[in-house]
C-alpha cells in the first residue's frame, strides 16, 4: 500500500528551478532513501512534503488524499539544520515540542519518560541544552521527532554529528520504528546506510530525479556481469571472460565477466560446476556508492 505520493512537483525560486517535475511513491512500512549531491533539491522536496513550502505545481498525497497542513501532525521531521533553544531545559523543551505536535501534556510526559529511560538519559532532564554536547542534543532531537508516534518519519541527514556507537543506536531505532509500522524517508550521503536500510530510493540531481526504484533492482540493473568464484581448481569457459585468477591458501579466486547479458546465472554456474569443486559463486553487484558516483558524475 502506498502511503505517500509526490506527483510532478515543480518548485521555482527566483531565477532557479529547484525541483523539476519530481514524482515518487513511498510504500507504507518501508524505508525510503532520498539521495543526491548537495544542492540537488532534496531539502526543498522534504520541505514541500512537510508543508513548509508550497509547490508551484503538482501535488503531494498522503494515503491517497491531498496533504493539508493538518496532516503534518502525522509526520515526524528531523531537519538537516536542527537545533534547540539553548537556554531552555531539556525536559521543558521536549515537552514543548511534543505539545506543538498536538500531544497532551500527560501523553507527552509518559512517552518522554519511556524514551529517556530507553536512551538512558534521564539525568539530562533538568539540564540546559547549552550544557549538552552536539551528539547529546541530537539524541534529544531524535526523541522529539519520533515521540508522537508519527506514521511518516522524515530524517534529513540523521547521522551527521553522531559517533559510530550512536549512529548504530539510531539505525537500530529506525529499523525498530519500521517494524512497528512507521514509514521512513531519509536523505543521506552515507551510501552504506542506504544499502543497510533502504528498500527504495530516489536519486535527485540538478532538480530532477535521475534514478529511482528498489535498491536491489537498481543494483542488479547496474550489474557489470562480473562474478567472484572460489574453487579448488582453475576454471575456463567459452561464455565468460576471465578477468583475474589468483591462488589464496590453496583456493583459487577467479573474477569472471559473463559475455551474454541475458544468460541466466544458473547456466553459467552449470558450465563451470563440471570443471572443479565450487566453494563460492557470487554475483558482484555494484555498491550504491559506485552507482551514485556513476549516475551523478555523468
Contacts with other proteins by CB under 8 A lie at 14, 47, 50, 52-53, 69, 72, 75, 77-79, 81-88, 96-97, 99-102, 141, 144
State the nearest-atom distance from the C-beta of 193 to other proteins, in Å: 22
Do 128 and 84 meet the contact criterion of CB atoms below 8 Å apart?
Answer: no
Phi first, then psi: give them for residue 212, nearest 5 degrees: -155, 145
State the nearest-atom distance from the C-beta of 139 to other proteins, in Å: 14
Strands 57-62 and 2-13: antiparallel
Q: Which is nearer to other proteins, 81 or 262 (CB)?
A: 81
State the nearest-atom distance from the C-beta of 280 to other proteins, in Å: 48
Name residue 146's beta-bridge partners.
none
State the nearest-atom distance from the C-beta of 32 to other proteins, in Å: 18
Q: Which is nearer to other proteins, 14 or 165 (CB)?
A: 14
Q: Which is nearer to other proteins, 102 or 233 (CB)?
A: 102
Q: In sequence order, what DSSP letters do the residues of 222-241 get, joined into one string?
A: T--SEEEEEESS----SSEE
Name residue 231's beta-bridge partners.
252, 278
Distance from C-alpha of 112 to C-alpha of 94, rounded to nearest angstrom: 8
State the nearest-atom distance from the C-beta of 231 to other proteins, in Å: 55
Q: In sequence order, what DSSP letters do the residues of 84-102 get, joined into one string?
A: --TTSBHHHHHHHHHHHTT
State the nearest-atom distance from the C-beta of 237 to other proteins, in Å: 57
Q: Which is nearer to other proteins, 53 or 63 (CB)?
A: 53
Q: Which is nearer to other proteins, 21 or 99 (CB)?
A: 99
Phi first, then psi: give them for residue 56, nearest 5 degrees: -70, -40
Q: Identify the CA nearest to 6 among candidates 53, 43, 57.
A: 57
Residue with cell 533492482: 217
State the nearest-atom distance from the C-beta of 79 to other proteins, in Å: 4
Q: Which is nearer to other proteins, 90 or 218 (CB)?
A: 90
Rg, the chain, Cα only: 24
Q: Under 8 Å CB-to-CB from 106, ≥6 apart: which residues?
A: none
Q: Which grid coordinates belong to 211?
A: 534514478
Q: Which is nearer to other proteins, 1 or 69 (CB)?
A: 69
Distance from C-alpha of 252 to C-alpha of 53, rounded to nearest angstrom: 58
Amino acid at each position: 500500500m502506498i502511503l505517500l505520493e509526490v506527483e510532478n512537483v515543480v518548485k521555482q525560486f527566483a531565477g532557479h528551478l529547484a525541483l523539476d517535475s519530481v514524482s515518487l511513491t513511498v510504500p507504507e512500512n518501508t524505508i525510503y532513501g532520498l539521495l543526491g549531491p548537495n544542492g540537488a533539491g532534496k531539502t526543498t522536496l522534504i520541505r514541500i512534503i512537510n508543508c513548509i513550502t508550497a509547490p508551484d505545481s503538482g501535488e503531494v498525497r498522503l494515503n491517497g488524499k491531498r496533504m493539508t497542513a493538518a496532516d503534518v501532525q502525522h509526520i515526524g521531521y528531523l531537519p538537516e539544520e536542527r537545533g534547540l533553544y539553548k537556554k531552555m531545559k531539556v525536559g521543558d523543551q521536549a515537552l514543548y515540542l511534543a505539545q506543538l505536535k498536538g500531544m497532551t501534556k500527560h501523553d507527552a510526559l509518559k512517552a518522554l519518560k519511556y524514551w529517556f529511560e530507553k536512551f538512558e538519559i534521564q539525568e539530562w532532564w533538568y539540564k540546559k541544552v547549552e550544557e549538552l554536547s552536539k551528539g547529546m542534543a541530537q539524541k534529544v532531537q531524535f526523541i522529539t521527532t519520533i515521540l508522537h508516534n508519527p506514521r511518516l518519519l522524515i530524517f534529513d541527514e540523521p547521522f551527521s554529528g553522531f559517533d559510530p556507537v550512536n549512529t548504530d543506536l539510531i539505525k537500530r531505532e529506525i529499523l525498530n520504528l519500521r517494524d512497528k509500522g512507521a514509514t521512513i524517508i531519509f536523505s543521506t550521503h552515507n551510501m552504506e546506510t542506504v544499502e543497510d536500510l533502504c528498500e527504495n530510493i530516489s536519486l535527485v540531481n540538478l532538480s530532477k530525479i535521475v534514478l529511482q526504484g528498489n535498491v536491489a533492482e537498481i543494483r542488479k540493473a547496474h550489474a557489470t556481469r562480473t562474478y567472484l568464484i572460489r574453487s579448488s581448481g582453475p576454471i575456463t569457459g567459452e561464455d565468460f571472460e576471465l578477468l583475474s585468477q589468483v591462488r589464496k591458501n590453496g583456493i583459487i579466486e577467479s573474477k569472471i565477466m559473463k559475455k551474454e547479458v541475458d544468460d541466466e546465472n544458473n547456466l553459467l554456474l552449470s558450465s563451470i560446476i563440471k570443471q572443479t569443486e565450487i566453494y563460492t559463486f557470487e554475483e558482484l553487484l555494484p555498491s550504491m556508492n559506485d552507482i551514485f558516483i556513476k549516475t551523478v558524475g555523468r
